[in-house]
Structures are given as C-alpha cells and as structure tokens.
Amino acid sequence: MSRLVHPPHRIGRERLAELVSSAAYGSILVLGGLSVIGVSEVAGGHAAELVASVGLATWLAHLFAELLADHVRHSEPLNRAEIRRAAMDGSPILLVTVLPAIMLLAGRLDVLSDPAARVVAILVAIVQLLAIGAYVARVAATPPATRWSFAAVTGGLGIAMVVLTLLLGH
C-alpha cells in the first residue's frame, strides 16, 4: 500500500469515510464535466481549466458547507484546527481533478492529440472511481473474491449517475 494511503486504523473510520466521500463526489463531478467537453475545448485549453474549476469550486462549496455544519454541531466559534480538518477532508475533491486535467493539458500542449487527451482524461477519471471502489471494498473487509466486483459496480454506478445527469441536462 502507498505511504499516502493511510490504513483505517491510523486515521479513524469516520475521517476515512469523509475522505472517501469527497473522492467519490469529486470523481463523479469530474466525469460529468468531462462528458460535456468537446475536442475544440481541449485544443483551446478550456477543458483543463473547466476540470480544474469544477474541482476548486466543489472543494470550496464542500469547505463552506462543512464549516456551516460544524458551527451547528459546536455552537462556539470554529478554530483553525477545525477549519484545517474541513479543508483536508475535502482535499480528495481537488486531488481527483489533477490527473484528468493534466491529460487535457497534454492535449493542449500537443503531447497527445486532442481527441486522445479527452479519451485518456475520461479513462483516468473512470479508473480513479474504480480505485475508490476497490479501496472501499478492501477497507470494508469485503471478501477478496468480490472486491473487484464491488469496484466495478461502484464505477458503473458512477458512470450511470453521469449519464443520468447528462440526460436530465439536455
């Protein structure tokens, strides 16, 4: 396991749940954003900006909502530690935007063709969602034989949500 991924016994299950929730939410939003990006937006550099903006705006909204909710939970003013915790709990939202945005930027910089950059960015976002599902299956003590099935269902449901969002929005 990577040094960046802490086992659940080191950070607590509730905190781990917050991080997983943020990563899943961010992944779905990134996939939604990627699904409406055309090749011309990749060429113009707007695609990478859109994905990065979705991540940043979602993280800021998450931070705002968490701070409001914490103020309801604790009637006293929030301290720096609580603000820092809320910012960190939402950080996976930012992290899941990085690789897809880099792939789109690679298209803008002609490292990849524009259509390839778009496809690779979508594939990266799907793989990230599958990885989140696989991690949850591992942490939730899912039997090894069904872990990848759980990850595949997680990825499929995420993609289904993006498709539903697109259908409702058009």
Q: What is the pLDDT of residues 123-146, one digit of tens each?
A: 899 889 888 988 888 888 778 778
- Give yes or no for a contact between 13 and 140, defined as CB atoms under 8 angstroms apart: no
DSSP 8-state secondary structure symbol assigned to residue 5: S
What is the identity of the amino acid at 94?
Answer: L
Compute CA distances 117 → 43, 74, 146, whole Å: 10, 46, 32
CA–CA separation, 163 vs 165, rounded Å? 5
Q: What is the dihedral of CA 81, 82, 88, 91, to 10 degrees?
A: -140
Return the closest-CA partner of residue 24 out of 122, 121, 101, 126.
Answer: 126
Stretch 39-63: mean pLDDT, rounded?
A: 92
Six token digits for residue 107: 């298209």
pLDDT for the residue 152: 84
pLDDT at residue 5 tops 70 = no
More confident residue, 74 or 17: 17
Distance between CA atoms of residues 170 and 160, nearest Å: 15
Q: What pLDDT does 3 receive?
A: 42
pLDDT at 1 over 50: no
pLDDT of 98: 95
Give the largest CA-CA distance in the chain.
Answer: 54
Q: pTM for the full model? A: 0.81
Query: Given the structure tokens 């950059």, which residue do they identify?
Result: 117
Q: What is the pLDDT of residue 7?
A: 53
Reduced to 3 states (helix: H, G, I; strand: E, B; else coil), residue 143 is coil
Residues 94 and 29: beta-carbon distance below 8 Å: no
**Interior angle at CA 62, CA 99 and CA 53, nearest 5:** 40
162 and 31 in contact (C-beta within 8 Å)? yes
Per-residue pLDDT averaged across 68-74, rounded? 84
More confident site: 14 or 63: 63
